[in-house]
Amino acid sequence: MKKVLSILIAGIAILSFAFCPPALAGDAASGAKIFAANCNACHMGGNNVVNGAKTLKSDALEKYGMNSIEKITYQVNNGKNAMPAFKGRLTPQQIEDVATYVLDKSAKGWS
């Protein structure tokens, strides 16, 4: 009986972790404010006014390998092409909050 109970508890634990979305590291509410002040001009609604293919929408983030806190944080810190680097202009926590906000909004379809 103990063995069956142990297997059941282990199965529940494994399923709980398998179907839970990952916890996001930053504060999405703070990220929303920072995004509005620094990113909205080019990325309003998850779009991209410079390169329409590279939006902040879930499918584009996945396609271009930008669908993680680490990748978005790297991009915001260092910039690329027309996107300026925000390292030194925003704190590491602010950048992490923006990355969290972007992933949260992309998962919700920017609605």
Show binding-site residues for heme c.
39, 42-43, 83
DSSP state of 57: S
> Rounded to the nearest 5 degrees, what angle is found at the Cα of 66, between the Cα atoms of 58 and 29?
65
Measured CA to CA, the distance from residue 74 to residue 41 in angstroms comes to 20
Binding residues, by number, are 39, 42-43, 83
Measured CA to CA, the distance from residue 38 to residue 36 in angstroms comes to 6
Measured between alpha carbons, how far is residue 8 from residues 12, 20, 21, 22 in Å? 6, 18, 22, 23
Q: What is the CA radius of gyration of the chain?
A: 18
Number of residues in the chain = 111
